[in-house]
Amino acid sequence: MKIGILAAGITPDVLQANYPTYAEMFAQQLTDIESRLEFEIYDVRLDEFPQSTTACDGWLITGSKCNSYDDDPWILRLCEFIREVDNNQQVLVGICFGHQIIARALGGTVTKSTAGWGVGVHHYQVTSEIPTLPGATDIAFCAFHQDQVIDKPAKLDVFLTSDFCEFAGFIYKDRILTFQGHPEFSKEYESELVELYDGVTLTPDVANKARHTIKEESIQNKQLMSWIAQFLKP
């Protein structure tokens, strides 16, 4: 099965020597879990779009430093592409920016949150079953965002929520799956981001709290990536 990765962002320049791009993180980790998956990467930030939604069997949209509520031409084109994928009943996965842009494209609202930055390891309440974490009522994985969905599309159901982020995970049947957090991020990579943005976009207090959660909390990223692989394969 061929999965198209719509790369909406890229690893910061200073980290590229030691870490793959966001699209490559998914391709590598998902291939390790499910070898039948094949990937093609499209850099949609540079207006590199597939000719048709039928170019791949399913789609995944990565995170990005861009705002999903902006009206840049490539963002509006991506919204239209998402609606076409949905109309064609293809599988679609969204991560962080991808989670937000899917919500926007399908009728939701995204904005910069008054709660500020969500960074480090975040805990979420599970409101419906996660196949790779049967019986789980609370899970944790890395987050790095300031924007949030504040009004959800009617067709999407919430499966993850928290006091910080009400709409942290969406699902629609066996076709759409989205996460506000980053199941592809290791704690090592999250730590690198915190150090990079401490004093830049993150206040020292936010950065220090993030460091503490990264050091002390366990994450279930491998189980969530396994679920994404299951979701994408036929």
- The string of DSSP codes covering 89-101 is T-EEEEETHHHHH
Identify whether 216 is a catalytic site residue.
no
Using the structure block, give the residue that is written with the tokens 């709290």.
209
Query: What tokens were used for 94?
Result: 């969204």
182 is catalytic: yes
* Crossing angle (nearest 10°) for helices 97-105 and 73-87: 70
Q: Which of 99, 122, 145, 182 is catalytic?
A: 182
CA 69 to chain centre: 16
Of 96, 99, 122, 142, the active-site residue reads 96
Which residue is catalytic, options 24, 184, 190, 192? 184
Counts for the chain of helices (H) and strands (E), in that order: 6, 11
56 is catalytic: no
- Closest by CA to 144, choosing from 198, 70, 79, is 198
Distance from C-alpha of 63 to C-alpha of 102, rounded to nearest angstrom: 12
Q: Which residues are catalytic?
A: 96, 182, 184
